[in-house]
Structure 1
Amino acid sequence: MNKLTAILTLTGLAFAAATVQARDLGPDEALRLRDAGTIQSFEKLNAAALAKHPGATIEETELEQEHGRYQYQVELRDGQGVRWDVQLDATTGAVLQDHQDD
């Protein structure tokens, strides 16, 4: 493989990796997935996020599909006004990430 071929191959791979993004799911699709049992109920997912930060309130939620996995993102604000982002596996309810929002 010559240098030009290697550079073009790496550029193509980098471009392909950059274009793989999460796909936001709309309310109708989210409800279909929930009703089909593909993802947990939104009440359970919200409760799992709130369990990480008791007393917090939910400000925003979003369901995405990324790399074939459904992820539920919850933005919370705790009693001290600190914002938290909690990301859950929407199928299992497992917490994937929990970090303070900047």
Structure 2
Amino acid sequence: MKKFAALFAIATLAATAGIAQARDLGPDEALKLRDAGTIQSFEKLNAAALAKHPGGTINETELEEEYGRYIYQVELRDAKGVQWDLELDATSGEILKNHQDD
């Protein structure tokens, strides 16, 4: 029974460690990073996302820090009404993920 409790504790710590590595950044912090040149402008990041889905409209954006990397998340609807989730490296503007939302 003690082995089970120890394994459960280790599994719980491992699971919460992964969760703790992603952190949502508020508007003030995001603007400071943009103004310092650490991340690209939101206009450029939005344009990069929309270039993948011409005629689309952005519904929601979010900036996170994951493992020391700034990730810009974009939810958009394309011209055909299909919902997409994209993730961009906020420093380089590189598209990291581009998948259709279920």
Q: TM-score range by the shorter chain?
A: 0.7 to 0.9
Q: TM-score, normalised by structure 2?
A: 0.85
CA RMSD, Structure 1 to Structure 2 (Å): 2.0
2:96 aligned partner: 96
1:34 aligned partner: 34
Per-residue CA deviation, residues 34-88 of structure 1 (Å, 9 max, x unaligned), is 0000000001000000011011011111001111110000111011110001100
- Find the residue that maps to 2:7 and give its secondary structure: helix
In the TM superposition, what are the counterparts of 1:17-32 in structure 2 within 5 Å?
17-32=17-32
C-alpha distance 77-22 of structure 1, shift in aligned 2 (>3 A) = same
Q: Structure 1 stretches of 5 or more lacking a match?
A: none
Q: Percent identity?
A: 72
- When the two structures are aligned, how many residues end up with a matched partner? 100
CA distance in 1, matches of 2:78, 2:15: 39
Q: Structure 2 stretches of 5 or more lacking a match?
A: none
CA distance in 2, matches of 1:88, 1:58: 14
Q: Runs ≥4 in structure 1, deviation > 2 angstroms?
A: 6-21
**Does 2:83 correspond to 1:76?**
no
CA distance in 1, matches of 2:32, 2:64: 14
